[in-house]
Structure formats: C-alpha cells, structure tokens
C-alpha cells in the first residue's frame, strides 16, 4: 500500500492488515484535509474530516461487509452500532456485500428475501439513505460474456440527512475498472449552499394591489 500511496500522490495513509489473503483496508488522504482516525476493525475505518480552513466536521466510514451469508447479521449489527451517538454529517462507502432489492442482482442464485430485509432494516435503523450514483450500477461481476454471467450491486454509498443537507450538490459516479472485478466509486462533496450574488432590488407595480401593502 505504501507503493500505491506514492504512485497515486497521497500524503497520508492508514491501513488495517489483511488476514492471509482475505480482508485488508486502507484509507488514503492528502495534506489539505484534517483527518482523524476515530476507530477501526477488520470491517471498517471510521474517521472525522474537515478542511484546513476549519470548516465544520463531517464523518467518513469505509465499510466492508461480511461476504458469507451466515455472517451478514454481523455486518448489520456493526452498521447499527456505528450509527449510535452520532450527530455529524455522515457518509459510508464500500463493499457492503448486501442488496437492498432483488433488482441489484442479475444472474446466479436468487438472493434470499430475509437478507434483503435484514440489510434494509439495518440501513433504516441507522438513519441512512442509499445515495444514487451515475454510471454502471452493477459494481461487481463474474463470468462476463458467458451464460453464467453474474452482476451485482455490492458496492454503494450511504449517507444520513445531515450529510445531504450539507453536500446536497455532491457528484457521485462509478468508473470502469481495468484490473479488478469491482468498480470504483467516487464522490465530490460539493456544498449544498449556493453562493449569494448581489441583485438589484426591483419594485413590482402589482404589489400595490395587495391590501397589506402601505403606500
């Protein structure tokens, strides 16, 4: 990861080691951000962020859901736990290994309703919303071009209402991946507040017809 950090031009990095050939997380950021690692485990990295100009804090969580079906409930419980006692604008990104609807799975075995329901309930309990993104929606596939082609939306972005209030003009996209079976997702968190411009006051004659207007 240190080699990758240098190649892509980031200044700082925090990693969670893999276990054998599975797992492993990394969070990279540039020096323009004041980023503090709050907590981490094999399944998440939790941080608070603001700019050098001392803008208000917001929260970022990189998330990796348990891939094995019999352990999905552990991911839901973790998501709920992370949502507790949070008052910050919050965004989570990562591979959740779960679906919010059957439309997010094409090919292969049908995903059990209980798993879709369980993930939906965890997202709802946490006060989060699925943030839509531009680009191809199925972020993972295998067997492309064959009769066994499977496409799934495993990677996604979840945000709470405070994050939407602050970054209402965020740009979100998926991109083609050349050497991975997962598509990368990118977010540009543009503030929701529009820049005010000075406008000349204009008086409308029709206002005189209103009974509440004094002349």
Range of the domain at 117: 65-209
Q: Is 10 within a domain? A: no
Model confidence pLDDT, tens digit, residues 47-60:
999 876 667 899 99
Domain count, the chain: 1
Contact 15, 41 (CB under 8 A): no
Q: Is 36 within a domain? A: no
Residue 122 has a pLDDT of 97
Residue 150 has a pLDDT of 94
Task: Provide φ and ψ at 129, rounded to 5°.
Answer: -125, 145
At 156, which CATH number? 3.60.10.10
99-104: Cβ within 8 A, 24+ apart = 99/152, 99/153, 100/130, 104/137, 104/138, 104/152, 104/153
Model confidence pLDDT, tens digit, residues 87-140:
999 999 999 999 999 999 999 888 899 999 999 999 999 999 999 999 999 999
Give the count of beta carbons closer than 10 Å to the beta carbon of residue 185: 19
Half-sphere exposure of 29 (CA within 13 A, CB side): 19
Q: Is 43 within a domain? A: no
Q: Is 45 within a domain? A: no
Task: Provide φ and ψ at 72, rounded to 5°.
Answer: -60, -35
Q: Is 110 within a domain? A: yes
pLDDT score of 73 more than 70: yes
Report the chain's mean pLDDT, rounded to a whole number.
88
Q: Is 182 within a domain? A: yes
Q: Which residue has the higher pLDDT, 43 or 193?
A: 43
Stretch 59-69: mean pLDDT: 95
Q: Is 22 within a domain? A: no
Q: Is 8 within a domain? A: no
% of the chain exceeding 90 in pLDDT: 71
> What is the value of pTM for the model shown?
0.85
CA-to-CA distance for 62 and 41, rounded, in angstroms?
Answer: 11
């Amino acid at each position: 990861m240190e080699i990758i950090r240098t190649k892509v031009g980031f200044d700082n990095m925090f990693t969670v080691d893999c276990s054998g050939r599975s797992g492993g997380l990394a969070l990279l950021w540039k020096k323009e951000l004041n980023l503090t690692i709050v907590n981490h485990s094999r399944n998440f990295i939790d941080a608070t962020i603001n700019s050098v100009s001392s803008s208000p804090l917001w929260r970022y969580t990189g998330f990796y859901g348990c891939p094995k079906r019999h352990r999905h409930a552990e991911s839901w419980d973790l998501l709920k736990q992370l949502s507790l006692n949070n008052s910050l604008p919050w965004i989570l990104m990562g591979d959740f290994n779960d679906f919010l609807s059957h439309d997010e799975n094409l090919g292969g075995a049908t995903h059990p309703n209980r798993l879709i329901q369980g993930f939906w309930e965890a997202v709802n309990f946490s006060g989060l919303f699925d943030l839509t993104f531009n680009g191809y929606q199925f972020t993972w596939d295998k067997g492309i071009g064959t009769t066994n082609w499977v496409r799934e939306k495993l990677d996604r972005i979840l945000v709470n209402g405070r994050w939407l209030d602050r970054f209402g003009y965020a740009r979100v996209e998926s991109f083609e991946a050349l050497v991975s079976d997962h598509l990368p997702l990118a977010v540009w968190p543009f503030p929701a507040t529009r820049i005010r411009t000075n406008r000349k006051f204009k008086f409308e004659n029709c206002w005189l017809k209103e009974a509440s207007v004094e002349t």
